Amino acid sequence: MKSYTQKDDKQYKDQLKERIKKIKKQRNAVLIAHNYQRDEIQEIADICGDSLALSKAVVDTKADVIVFCGVLFMAETASILNPKKTVLLPVKEAGCPMVDMITVEMLQKKKKQHPDAVVVAYINTSAAVKAESDICCTSSNAVEVVRSLKQKQVIFVPDKNLGSYVQSKIPEKEIILWEGFCPCHMRVHEGQIKQARKLYPNAEFLTHPECEASVVALADHVTSTAGMIKYVGKSKAKEFIIGTECGILYQLKKQHPDRKFYIPTDGLVCADMKLTTLGWVLHSLEYLKTKIQVPDNIRVKAKKAIDKMIEIPGV
C-alpha cells in the first residue's frame, strides 16, 4: 500500500483550493478569515483581520454569501450587519468559551445591581448579550470606546483581563469587571515571558490585552492582532515575542518576511479556531451550511450596540 506523503497532502489541498475558488465565484461569495485561522484558510481568504476589521469589512461587501472562517459570535456579527445576506459558518461547533461565560439573564441581574452603569460588551459575546448592552468594543478599540462614554461607571463584559487593561488606561472610570476570560490567552504566564526574554534578548514582546495583567505589564506593546502586524512594520526591532494565538504567525511572516517571531508557549492554540479546514469550507459553499441568522428581535438591538462602536470617530 502506498504511503500518504507531504506531496500528496499538498496536491489534495491545492485541489480543494481550486474547487473552493470556482464555487465561490458561482455563489458570489466572499471568504472572510480571522487572524487565528489555519494558514491554508488565511491563504485563500478574500479578507483577513481582527474582529474590528472584519466587522467593518462585512458592512461594505457586495457579495451575496459571506463565509465566515472564525467562530459563532463572529458569524452572528456578520448576520447582524447583513440581515439580507446568507452568512455561513463552515463548522457549526466552532464556538468561544469566553462567550459562554455570560448569559442575558446573568447580565440583567448585574444591571439591576448597578442601575447607573453603562454596559460595554466585548465583541466576544453572543448576539443576545450584545442586544442587552449599550455599546460594543473590540480588543483594538476598547480603551477608546470606554473613554468616549459620558458615564463614569461601566459594566465591562465578559473579559476581565481586557477590562483590567482598560481600567489601567482610564483610571477615572469605575470599571465593573465580569469574571470571564480567554482560556487560550490565560495559558501565557509571567515566567514564560521572562524566560523568552532571556532566550531572545533583542526581541520586543507584543501581547494581546486578553492576557493577564502580570503578562501585559511586561509587554513593549499591547494591542490586537491587527495592531501587532501594523506595529511590527513600524518597529526597528528584527525579532518579536508574540503573546497571542499562534495563527497570527501566518500574517506576520507573510507581511514581514525579514523579521523573526517567537511564541512563548505551545499553549497558545485556540482549538475552536482550528476546527475550520479547507474541506469544511468547500462543504459550506457547496451545501450552504451552516446558515447563521440572528432573529430580528435580537438583531435590531444588537446592531445598535455595534453601530455605536463603529460610529465613534477614529475607531
**Confidence at residue 33, expressed as pLDDT on a 0 to 100 scale:** 97
Q: Domain-by-domain residue ranges, the chain?
A: 6-95+274-287, 99-182, 185-269
Cα 284 → chain centroid: 21
Task: Write down the pLDDT at residue 61.
Answer: 86
Task: Give the closest residue to 152 by CA, choosing from 124, 168, 176.
Answer: 176
Residues in the chain, how many? 315
- pLDDT score of 2: 58
Q: What is the DSSP string of 215-255?
A: HHTT-SEE--HHHHHHHHHH-S-SEEEEES-TTHHHHHHHH
Report which residue type is found at 16.
Answer: L
Question: In angstroms, rounded to a whole number, what is the distance separating the alpha carbons of residues 88 and 280?
Answer: 11
Question: Which pLDDT does position 206 carry in this prediction?
Answer: 98
With a CB cutoff of 8 Å and minimum separation 6, the contacts of 178 are 101, 102, 110, 155, 156, 157, 158, 159, 160, 163
Task: Considering the domain delimited by 6-95+274-287, tell me its CATH architecture.
Answer: 3-Layer(aba) Sandwich (3.40)
**Both ends of the chain: CA-CA distance in Å?**
58
pLDDT at 291: 98
Q: What is the DSSP letter of 209?
A: T
* Displacement of CA 279 from its chain's centroid (Å): 22
Q: Which residues of the chain have pLDDT under 70?
A: 1-4, 7, 314-315
**pLDDT in the model for residue 315:** 67
Fold: same for 6-95+274-287 and 99-182? yes
Out of 3.40.50.10800, 3.90.1200.10, 3.40.30.10, 3.40.50.300, the CATH code matching 99-182 is 3.40.50.10800
pTM score of the predicted model: 0.93
- For the domain made up of 185-269, give the CATH fold: Rossmann fold (3.40.50)
- Please tell me the predicted confidence (pLDDT) of residue 1: 54
pLDDT at residue number 162: 98
Going by the DSSP 8-state scheme, the letter that residue 180 receives in this structure is B
Strand 118-122 relative to strand 153-157, pairing: parallel
Give the model's pLDDT for residue 4. Answer: 64
